[in-house]
Structure formats: C-alpha cells, structure tokens
Amino acid sequence: MRSRLFSLVALSLLGGTPLLHAQGAALPASTTPPRLAAPKALQLPTMVERTLPNGLRLVIVEQHELPVVDAQLVIRTGTEADPAGKAGLATLTANMLDEGAGSRDALALAEEIGFLAVRLGTFAALEQSTVSLHSTRTTLDSAMALMADVVLRPTFPEKEFTRLKSERLTALLQEQDRGPAMADRAFSALVFGEAHPYGRSVNGTRESVEPMGLDEVKQFWRTYYRPNNATLVLVGDLSVNEAQALATAAFGGWERGTVPPVTYARAQAPSSTSIHIVDKPKAAQSSFRIGTIGVPRRTADYYPLMVMNTALGGSFTSRLNNTLREVKGYTYGAGSSFSMRREAGPFTARAEVVSAKTDSALIEFMKELRGMRTPMPADELAKVKRYLRLGYADGFESTSDIASQVAGLVPTGLPLSTLGAFDAGIARVTAADVQRVAARYLDPTKLRIVIAGDRASIEPALKATKIAPVDVRDMRGRPVLVP
C-alpha cells in the first residue's frame, strides 16, 4: 500500500493523476491565488559622504553581514565627450586601463587579480566611465592598491591597444549582420541625429575607430580621469574611518585638474510619425524600435512615468508583452523603457517579431500606445504599483547591488536621499497622473518607427497600414536610394 501511494504521489508531481490524501480522496484544486501582504517600507543602510583634499568624493556604506567589500570609482564623463569623428574613444580608453598598470603588464595584472581572488572591471557608458572592484576584507588593502594602479598608473601598451582596436573593428563589422544592432543604431541616429552624443554608438564606427591612435587614448585619460571629476563608492565590511583611510592611501596622491565641460545642442523631437526600414535581406524576423525623445532623470514626472511604463512594457505582464507574445504569438518578448539620463534620453518600445507578422505587430504596437493614454483601471494601477514597490528591494540585496545603486546617481548629480524616496514616490501615483504623463510623452502622431528586416517582404504591407510614410535607411539612419 505504501509503495502504491508513493507511486501515485510521484506520478502527480510529474503531471499525472491527481495527488491523493492517504485515505485515497483527491486533494481539492486551488482556485484562489495567495494574498500578498502590503509592501513594507524599505530600510536603506546609512550612506556617509566625505571629500578628500584633492576633490575626490567618497560615499561609504557599512555592511558587515559578510566579509566582502565592493568599490566603484565613477568618472563623471563618458562617450558624450568623444570628439567629433572620434566616437568610441571613451570606451577604448576604459578598456585599456586594465591592459597593464603600474609595474605589471596585462598578463601579470591578470595573474594578480586571480591570486587575490578579486573581480576588477573597467567600462565606459554615455555619461560615465567606471572602474569596479569586488574583494574580500582580508585582501582589500592589496586590491585597492591594484585598483589605484589601474586608474592612476595605466601603461597603455601599444601591443594591447592594437589588439583591442582590432577586436573592436571586428565587432563593428559583425553588427552589420545583426538585426537588433542595426535597429538600435538607426533608431538612436534618427531620434537624436548623428551629431548628438545620444545619436551615436558608444563603440563608434569603423571610420572613427580605424584611424584612432594611442596618443588620443592617453589624452582622454589625462583630461577626464581626475579626482575632482570622480566619486568613489565603498560598500561592505569596513567602517567609515577605515574606508576613508583606504581611499586616502590609494587615491590621495591623485592630482586634480581642470576638466572641460561637455556641451552639445539639444535634440529636437520629431514633429510627425515616420516609418524607416533598415534592410536586412531574407531576415526571418523584424527588429522593432519605436519611440521619441523622453525625459531627463531629474524630471518631476519620474514616478508617474515609472508606473505608466511598467504597465505598458516594463514587466512580463505588461500590455505590450501580453498582446504581442501571449495573445498574438508574434514574438518571444516585447517591452518599453525610458532611458533617463543627465539630459532627456529616448523612450523606446521594442520587440523582435516574426517577419510575416511585421505589419500586424506594428498595428498592435500603435493600439497599445494609444490605449495607454486612456484612464488606467484601478486594479491594474494597484498591481503595477505593488510590483514596483515589492521589487525595489531586489536592487539592494548585496554589497555590489548597493554600490551600483549609489553609483547610478553620480552622472545625474542626484542626492543620495533619492534612493530612499522611491517607495513613497510610487505610492503617491494616481490614475490621473498616469494618464497625464501618457498624454504628454506618448504621442502616436510624433514617433520614429525603425524596423530592421527583409525590406522586400515587409515594405508593401507596412505601406498598406497607412500608419505613416515609409522610407529606407541604412543602419546610421541615413537615407538609402532605392529603385
């Protein structure tokens, strides 16, 4: 009897017969989902600010649960400072930092990182360049000294520069055969213009990277990698005084300098909707990028926009994903986002759609964008706000998470108190707020619609939708003459 019951239970778990009570009666099916408790207020750790005499700002967060420390050094300059015709310079500069530093060449540096069992990374984005470190408490002194070598004493070996540049050129060539990358590049250029930093790829182009020399990399580093242009975030198992002493020992001798401001003209949002095809012959799918210029991170509409976008395309159960994936089956996933930067970044709705349904998918995209401008039902509003409030704590689970959250405030200059204001900010959002920001920022008559796909098969159907005029562009957004 016991073996028979065991078999029935096992079969049930594998999707066979219903699970039985010991007496043989079937368990009742559950038809009511569990009730979620009200979101609890998130208690953030204390964040302490200090400034070294050379101008380096410190943000220190004590977390003593585990003997680890995460550090992020954020330079408040990124690819936006790439000179005209030199797109990709900031990212190449960041990539070169750990290719040899202090007395170590690239191989010796990699061996030291392995010996200390630390993680060290360097990268650049639009508005920042970052060096990150994860270390145990016992190896922190040595790890911080290594990090300081990478930031203050990179050797910029010619051999490694040649290799990195060759890898970059190969990657740029590969992008020309990838629909999503083609759509991303063309969309940015069409929304902001190629002359605007937001309209260029952070990796540059073949024309900008190929002639780039090592002296230009060194000059970018000398100009922008200065303590008075940087913030060091330290999170983990150390006291404020210990953190300040470590930072002083590692970076106290870093010389401050005059950092030129980065300026550029403000981009103009489109005045009408247009459809632009980036031709990828015989492509099995079409890469959609739909949007316009959005808002800067400092916008007063931040919280209503978070709620509105989460409902539209910011979660798996969003309207776009539900319609295009679950109901229609056109894609594996669809979504939307506001990239909020120091200045207004893009609003983008996106999906990779089976080619035969390109026109149908566009119709559904436009329906959902229009529908977002009508009042949001109370149950949907409550669900979205709960989703955001409950999920916010995920960003503070580890020392690395906390460091990233703090570092994310640096480029925009937002105060540390911003992190603790999220829960109350989302809780205050009303349906009227959501409708107001949707009406203001989601105008279906003023969009750039970029679709990278097989022009021969998708162009006639796109024109037949009569949603907007259709033309053909290359992956930089430039017009293409077609027969």
In whole angstroms, how large is the CA radius of gyration of the chain?
A: 26
The two beta strands, 470-473 and 274-279, are parallel
Residues facing 73 on adjacent strands: 131, 232
Report the candidate in 306, 142, 144 with the shortest Cα–Cα distance to residue 234: 144
229: exposed, middle or buried (C-beta count within 10 Å: 0-12, 13-18, 19+)? buried
CA angle 378, 383, 384 (to 5 degrees): 100
- Provide the pLDDT for residue 408: 97
pLDDT at 34: 75
The residue to which tokens 């300081």 are assigned = 148
Contact between residue 290 and residue 349 where contact means Cβ atoms under 8 Å apart? yes
Could you tell me the domains of the chain?
47-251 (3.30.830.10), 274-473 (3.30.830.10)
Is residue 240 within 8 A of residue 85, CB to CB? The reply is no
Q: Which two tokens stand for residue 11?
A: 């079969």
- DSSP assignment of 223-266: HH--GGGEEEEEEESS-HHHHHHHHHHHHTTPPP---PPP--PP
Q: What is the pLDDT of residue 31?
A: 72
Q: What ranges make up the beta strands (E) of 245-398?
A: 274-279, 285-293, 331-338, 346-354
Nearest to 448 by CA among 185, 187, 198: 187
Residue 191 pLDDT? 98
Residue 24 phi/psi, 5-degree rounding, is: 105, -5
Which amino acid is residue 181, in one-letter code? Answer: A
The parts of the chain modelled with pLDDT lower than 70 are: 1-30, 36
Look at residue 35 in the predicted model and tell me its pLDDT: 75
User: Tell me, what's the pLDDT at 135?
Assistant: 98
Q: Is the pTM for the entire model greater than 0.85?
A: yes
